[in-house]
Amino acid sequence: MAAGRFAPSPTGPLHIGSLYTALASFLDARAEGLPWRLRFDDLDAPRNQPGAESRILRSLEAHGLHWDGPVERQSERLDLYQAALEKLQRRAKLFHCTCSRKALAGSPIYPGHCRGQIAPVPNAAIRVRVDDAAVEFIDLVQGRQHARLGATVGDFIIKRRDGPFAYQLATAVDDGNPNIVRVLRGRDLLANTPRQLHVMALLGLPAPTYAHIPVLLNTAGQKWSKQTEAPTVNDHKHLANIRACLMLLGLQPPDLDLDTLIEWASAHWSLDRIGKRNQAFDPSLS
Ligand code: GLU
Ligand code: ZN
């Protein structure tokens, strides 16, 4: 069944920036009459934080953001990613890269050294060829997007040298599932989308509709994230948190209890109210 999705990495509890994205993705799905699925992007095992999943689930529930269907985990779908990799292999789109980090330092575009290494090599990353792929799509917030992968990133990694499938492959397979029709996420991820669309196209998977919303910045102009020590959301302040996020999303929330407010917000949701630019949010003012 067609759905939207929210895909946090369980690297820490929800902070104001991730709550804002979760709320926007929830409202967008509800406004479209779609279920809202929850998927943990947990392939980067060393970055996963014990207990983060259950804290995220608890925070979403406390804020009235109830997901539909079972919680999914990328770590439970490795067979799908392996099948996708084998399909790309059969289509002669993959090669094994043994370039050291040092050899690639200073070249943002992969220079193609290992393109001839089609057969598996120990201790190698696996890259997908981009050839002359040009990717175009309409983002519902950011407008028409165009990327020539050969001029921006070059052949990119879909399985890391240390083992895990890369974010680009796993996310392309999951969001390329015909049931996922809407992907709303932060603008910081926009640069990844052409790579994911390229993988979907090579695999013959249908692309969802994308909306990349502005991210919240701290007072120093950095994205609120785990790295910038964004404060964990306080679940007891659920109503105040949701009201703050709604205002940042261009809505003027009336005085209502949490569940009624969320209903109201789904009915008043419009992507047109969201600007394209990142905006500052100082939690000490809320
Ligand atoms: N799990 C990643 C993140 O939280 C990607 C999310 C996405 O593709 O929506 O940044
Ligand atoms: Zn290489």
pLDDT > 80? residue 236: yes
Centroid of ligand 1 to alpha carbon of 185 (angstroms): 7
**Tokens (6 digits) for 286:** 């809320």
65-90 tens-digit pLDDT: 999 999 999 999 999 999 999 999 99
pLDDT of residue 15: 94
In this structure, what DSSP letter does residue 114 have?
T
Q: Is the pLDDT of residue 286 over 60?
A: no
Q: What is the pLDDT of residue 36?
A: 98
> What mean pLDDT comes out for the span 35-51?
97
Q: Of the residues 41, 44, 174, 224, which should be mutated to test ligand 1's pocket, given the most ligand atoms within 8 Å of the CB?
A: 41
Q: Ligand 1: distance of its center to the CA of 41 in Å? A: 7
Interacting residues of 112 by C-beta distance below 8 A, sequence separation 6+: 154, 155
18 — pLDDT class (breaks 50, 70, 90): very high
pTM: 0.96
The pLDDT, as a whole number, for residue 138 is 98
Query: Which distant-in-sequence residues (6+ apart) come within 8 Å of 102 by Cβ?
Result: none
Mean pLDDT of 127-140: 97
Q: What is the mean pLDDT of residues 218-227?
A: 88
